[in-house]
A and B are shown apart, each in its own frame.
Chain A
Amino acid sequence: MAKEKEKILGMDGDKFRMFMGKYGIGVILVLMMVFISFMEPSFRSASNMINVATQVSINAMIAYGMCLAITTEGIDLSVGAQLALVSCILGQLISNKGWSIPLAILAAVLVSTLWGVINGLLISKFNMFPFVVTLSTQLIIRGLAQLISGGQAIPITDAAFKRIYSTKIAAVPFPILVLILVTVLMYLLLHWTKLGRYIFAVGDNMNAAIASGVSVIKTKTAVYAISGFLAGIAGVIFTAKTASAQSNIGIGYETDAVAACVLGGTSFAGGVATIPGVLMGIFIIGFIYNGMNLIGIDSYYQSMTKGAVIIGAVLLDMVMNKKTN
């Protein structure tokens, strides 16, 4: 007789694996939310949820850019420094030079996008390692930020600028609206455009992509340019939040972005990623911080928990998908 099939939670073993492989990250997110609300009921309140979403909006922009870079078998370590550079440019232009806010934002985001283009060209045209390129440009970019700000925090007192973070439209804070817009655009970009397909193809098998007529230089440059652009947007929101331009902000932001991508199923081997996955990854990290704060666990444990959750999530993914070569 045939062997009794392995059963997990009333599901056939293989089916369970398929389900977890596809929706595992969502399951983790839901379990986490249930657990935290059990420990601390105030977690479930609408105001707390909006609070978390506003906080993670900055990280999410950076994570989307990172996701594109990782999908093409790369990484963008310059995003944290980009945040600082954008902040200092805004401070200098608005407070000291008296530029109008829209013009200053345009200039700052243009600069961060340009740095993205530089990263992309160095990586694709000269075949340099993304890790090395962005590790180095990160130093240059932060140096520039320090140069522009003169090492001092520049306060931005313009109320209109501060409203970028604090204004609400129908009870929804503006950063959340930006997050929703960017998420939709990134989803369309990665899953519904030519460029998205090229990103996946280059990441999965660069040689086959070239042999199918895909331009690796254009694709990778676009990826890092988008990452720079999104880091620029994140920098604007961040600066509006603190109302001051500082050259030492954004340190460690690239780590959280990489973590969110990995949690969201972005493969370091390239060619595999989804935007909803990255968004869920971002919220998992947001909830770790928020939940532990609410429960009153010391912040030292937050970093440890984050590390453990990432390893656990990736391990789960490996076991469930049984990745074979």
Chain B
Amino acid sequence: MTYKADEQEKYVLECHGISKAFGGTQALCNVELLVRQGEVHALLGENGAGKSTLMKCIIGLHQQDKGEILFEGKPYSAKGPTEALNAGISMIHQELNPEPHLTIAESIFLKRENTKGILLDKRAQNKRADEILKKFNFPYNSKTLMKELTLAQMQMVEIIKAVSYNSRLIIMDEPTSSLDSEETAHLFSIIRELKEKGVAIIYISHRMEEIFEICDYVSVFRDGTYVGARSMEAADRDGLISMMVGRKVENVFPKVECEIGEVVFKVEGLSGKGFDDISFEVRKGEILGISGLVGSGRSETMRAIFGMDPITEGKLYLEGREIKIKKPGQAIKQGICMVNEDRKNFGLALHRSIRENIALPTLPIMQKGMLLNKKKEEKNCLNMGNLLKLKAASIEHDAFSLSGGNQQKTVLAKWLLANPKVLILDEPTRGVDVGAKSEIHNLMCQFAAKGLAVIMISSELPEIMGMSDRILVYHEGKIRGEVLREEILSGETDQEKILAKAFGGM
């Protein structure tokens, strides 16, 4: 299966036996990667397969626990992106982070400015920058401010910067995610030019067509392990997808079948940033799974429904009547609650007590005149904590002191106290240990059995398949497929089929 290293070939980058753990989770386990000079090498894998962690080890944002990296045949280690850049490795990040108020020249020569004594020599620097820009036929001059450029142009400046550092290896993380087809074609022509000059490129993308178009080799990762490498000529789409999935669906999910009632919540033709013309409905007692890659529009849709982001078009119906939601407060009042995927930023006030966190959305119903009814509040919070088996020394402790699983239970307790009709869970078991994970799954079934409509987004296919009554699959902002539980139980639809849909296949 594995691709054998050819002794004759010259590798720019060799990673051997790289392992990296964060706390208890093994993000990378004994991973290999071989990249030749002048090749475009694709990295493929589901979210969380370990691609970004490996790249971060290479550019020095993480240090691997074990393993060796060779760059141009010599042992290599970088303590940070600047060291990597100076060594000849640069990375074009998916989320570009340019300084908007710098000129193109200042951005390219950041931290290595032309100087005359202690002063900057702007003239010489601009001249140098203009020369490089001309080589790439870049339509702006060196004095243009970064903020005036389009995303594609900013990306081009990053690539030009990488070349100006004489990088022999450029890592591109989802470079086409915000480009249109013309811009993508331009990027590909630049990539081909770089290739001819002997620059190696690591190309991370979820877009299969692009990988087939531009890449020479592909390495596949799964759950932090290296599955294998293929020459693109020898690879086919289905083969790659089954390499990515590999594992069997283990039926460790405590799914309890319960009666599914009438439609509670309906979405019609919903559009907004990152999603387009989304329609679906969810019923009482149903767990609706939402699958798709990160950035496919699944979280974006749910955030908009919850009032965190604007809706540009479309209608929402709750129990048959149309509702308008512009702010989370309105959604909560209507009975729609959402557990955000980013617990630290959107879930908890970490330095306040567990009690205050749980009670926050429901304070208006725990009043006694002008003041808070702290007895009622404590009783409610304790009841909810017991129901969810929240483990804490006391509810007066900071949320900060809890483990990931118990923090998530605190967020759940907060929403259950608000007595919702629709509960949206975005990655409900992310960063949660195995024990708490199955408890949360159990709780989801309990909520559903009580008549709650549950919408669950998850990047973990086994979780989605094990828990959902119905699965919607997103691809590039649209729903591309619907899978029923019967199809999964009968084996008619498996992980590979769902993943193929998420990657835009039929």
Interface set, chain A 193-215, CB cutoff 8 A to B? 193-194, 197-198, 200-201, 204-205, 207-215
- The reply to whether the CB of A188 lies closer than 8 angstroms to some CB of chain B is yes
> Which residues of chain A come closer than 8 Å to B352, judged between CB atoms?
200-201, 204, 271
A212 near B360 with CB under 8 A, answer yes
Residues of chain B within 8 A (CB-CB) of A210 are 308, 327-328
A200 B370 Cβ-Cβ under 8 A: no
Contact between A200 and B328, CB atoms less than 8 A apart: no
CB of B340 within 8 A of CB of A211, answer yes
Establish whether residues B364 and A194, one from each chain, have CB atoms under 8 Å apart when the complex forms: yes
Q: How distant is A318 from chain B, measured CB to nearest CB, in Å?
A: 15
Contact A204 B349 (CB under 8 A): yes
Compute how far the CA of A214 lies from the CA of B329 in the bound complex, rounded to whole angstroms: 7
CA distance A271 to B351 in the complex (A): 7
Q: A194-B367, A213-B332 are in contact. Are A200 and B349 (CB under 8 A)?
A: yes
Contact pattern, B 356-368, Cβ under 8 Å of A = 1, otherwise 0: 1001110110010
**A212–B364 CA distance with the chains assembled, in angstroms:** 12
In the bound complex, how far is the Cα of B363 from the Cα of A200, in angstroms? 13
Contact residue among A192, A207, A271, A272 (Cβ-Cβ distance under 8 Å from B374): A192
Of B327, B338, B345, B363, the residue contacting A208 (CB under 8 A) is B345
Contact indicator A211/B308 (Cβ below 8 Å):
yes
Given A192-B372, A201-B349: A211 in contact with B338 (beta carbons within 8 A): yes
Chain A contacts of B371 at CB under 8 A?
188, 192-193
* Size category, A interface: 20 to 34
* Contact pick for A197, options B338, B345, B347, B359, CB 8 Å: B359
Query: Would you call A209 and B349 a contact (CB within 8 A)?
Result: yes
The answer to whether A197 and B356 touch (CB under 8 A), given A205-B349, A212-B361, is yes
Provide the residues of chain B in CB contact with A193, threshold 8 Å. 370-372
A209: chain B residues at CB < 8 Å are 349, 360
B residues 366-419 in Cβ contact with A at 8 Å: 367, 370-372, 374, 414
Measured between beta carbons, the chain A residues less than 8 angstroms from B364 are 194
B243 interface contact, C-beta 8 A: no
Known: A192-B371, A197-B356. A213 touches B351 (CB 8 A): no
| CB pair B329 A213 closer than 8 Å | yes
A201 touches B356 (CB 8 A): yes
A188 to chain B: closest residue by CB: B371
Given contacts A194-B363, A194-B364, A201-B360, A211 and B349 within 8 Å (CB-CB)? no
What is the minimal beta-carbon distance from A35 to any residue of chain B, in angstroms?
33
CB-defined contacts of A208 to chain B, threshold 8 Å: 345-349
By a CB distance below 8 angstroms, the chain A residues around B306 are 211
A213 and B361 in contact (CB under 8 A), knowing A188-B371, A193-B370, A197-B356?
Answer: yes
How far, in angstroms, from A214 to B372 measured CA to CA in the complex?
16
Quote the shortest CB–CB distance from B139 to chain A (angstroms): 34
**In the assembled complex, which residues on chain A have CB atoms less than 8 Å from the CB atom of B356?**
197, 200-201
Shortest beta-carbon distance from B328 to chain A in Å: 5
A127–B427 CA distance with the chains assembled, in angstroms: 30
What are the interface flags for B317-341 relative to A under an 8 Å C-beta threshold, 1 for contact and 0 otherwise?
Answer: 0000000000111011100001010
A132 to chain B, nearest CB (A): 18
Among residues of B, the one whose C-beta sits closest to the C-beta of A218 is: B329
**Interface code A157-195, partner B: CB below 8 Å = 1, 0 otherwise?**
000000000000000000000000000000010001110
Chain A residue, CB-CB nearest to B345: A207
Q: How big is chain B's contact interface, by range?
A: 20 to 34
Contacts of A207 in B (CB 8 A): 345-346
Distance in Å from the Cβ of B142 to the closest Cβ of chain A? 32
Which residues from chain B contact A205 at a C-beta distance below 8 Å? 345, 348-350
Interface contact B345-A194, CB-CB below 8 Å: no
- Which chain B residues border A271 with CB–CB below 8 Å? 349, 351-352
Q: Give chain B residues whose Cβ lies under 8 Å from the Cβ of A194.
A: 363-364, 367, 372
Which residues in A have their C-beta under 8 angstroms from that of B308? 210-211
> Contact at B327–A215, with CB atoms within 8 Å?
yes
Contact between A211 and B372 (Cβ–Cβ < 8 Å)? no
- Please report the C-alpha to C-alpha distance between residue A204 and residue B361 in the assembled complex, in whole angstroms: 15
Q: Complex: how many Å from CA A213 to CA B340?
A: 13
> In the bound complex, what is the Cα–Cα distance between A201 and B329 (angstroms)?
14
A205-B349, A207-B345, A208-B349 are contacts. A215–B360 as well, Cβ < 8 Å? no
* A272 to B400 alpha-carbon distance, docked (Å): 14
Rounded to whole Å, the gap between the CB of A301 and the closest CB of chain B is 37
Give bound CA distance, A188 to B369, whole Å.
Answer: 13
In the bound complex, residues from chain A placing their C-beta under 8 Å from that of B363 are 194, 197-198
CB–CB B329/A215 < 8 A: yes
The smallest C-beta distance from B443 to any residue of chain A, in angstroms, reads 20
Once bound together, how far apart are the Cα atoms of A211 and B349, in whole Å? Answer: 11
Interface pair A272/B351, CB less than 8 Å apart: yes
| A212 with B372: CB separation less than 8 A | no
Measured CA separation A212–B339 after assembly (Å): 10
Q: Is the CB of B351 within 8 A of A204?
A: yes
Report whether B372 and A197 are in contact in the complex, using a CB–CB cutoff of 8 Å.
yes
Q: Which A residues touch B332, using CB under 8 A?
A: 212-213
Q: Which residues on B sit within 8 Å (CB–CB) of A272?
A: 351
Residues of A within 8 A of B329 (CB): 213-215
Partner of B350, one of A204, A211, A213: A204
**1/0 contact trace for A205-245 toward B, CB 8 Å?**
10111111111000000000000000000000000000000
Set of chain B residues within 8 Å of A215, measured between Cβ atoms: 327, 329
A198 partner residues in chain B, CB cutoff 8 A: 363
Q: Which residues of B contact A197 (CB under 8 A)?
A: 356, 359-360, 363, 372
Q: Please give me the residue from chain B that is nearest to A204 by CB atom.
A: B349
Query: Which residue from A192, A201, A211 sits with its C-beta under 8 Å from B328?
Result: A211
Name the A residues within 8 Å of B349 (CB-CB): 200-201, 204-205, 208-209, 271
Query: In the complex, A201→B340 CA distance in Å?
Result: 17
Q: Which residues from chain B contact A201 at a C-beta distance below 8 Å?
A: 349, 352, 356, 360
Q: Write out the residue numbers on chain A whose beta carbons fall within 8 Å of the beta carbon of B327.
A: 210, 213, 215
A209–B328 Cα distance when bound, in Å, is 10
Give bound CA distance, A197 to B414, whole Å. 14
Q: How far is the CB of B249 from chain A (nearest CB, A)?
A: 33
In the assembled complex, how far is the CB of residue B223 from the closest CB belonging to chain A, in whole angstroms? 30
Task: Report A266-325 residues with CB < 8 Å from chain B CB.
Answer: 271-272
Asked if residues B414 and A212 are in contact (CB atoms below 8 Å), the reply is: yes
Which residues from 19 to 33 on chain A have a C-beta closer than 8 Å to any C-beta of chain B? none
Alpha-carbon distance between A229 and B251 when the two chains are bound, in angstroms = 62
CB distance from A15 to the nearest CB of B (A): 16
Contact A214 B345 (CB under 8 A): no
Cα–Cα distance between A309 and B340 once the two chains are bound (Å): 43
CA distance A205 to B350 in the complex (A): 8
- The residue that A214 contacts in the complex, of B338, B350, B360, with Cβ under 8 A, is B360
Expressed in whole angstroms, the Cα–Cα distance for A213 and B338 within the complex equals 11
Q: In the complex, which residue of chain A has the Cβ closest to the Cβ of B366? A: A194
The distance in angstroms between the C-alpha atoms of A204 and B346, with both chains bound, is 11
Question: Which of A192, A209, A212, A215 has the largest number of chain B CB atoms within 10 A?
Answer: A212
Give the shortest distance, in Å, between A198 (CB) and chain B (any CB): 8
Of all chain B residues, the one with the shortest Cβ separation from A202 is B349
Contacts of A200 in B (CB 8 A): 349, 352, 356
Question: Which A residues are CB-close (under 8 A) to B414?
Answer: 212
Q: Pull 16 A–B residue pairs with CB atoms less than 8 Å apart, ordered by A.
A: A193-B371, A197-B360, A201-B349, A201-B352, A205-B348, A207-B346, A209-B349, A209-B360, A210-B327, A211-B306, A212-B328, A212-B360, A213-B361, A215-B329, A271-B351, A272-B351
- Not counting A208-B345, A210-B328, a sample of 6 additional A-B residue pairs whose C-beta atoms are within 8 angstroms of each other reads A197-B356, A200-B352, A205-B350, A211-B346, A271-B352, A272-B351
List 3 tightest A-B contacts by C-beta distance, closest first.
Answer: A213-B329, A204-B349, A213-B332
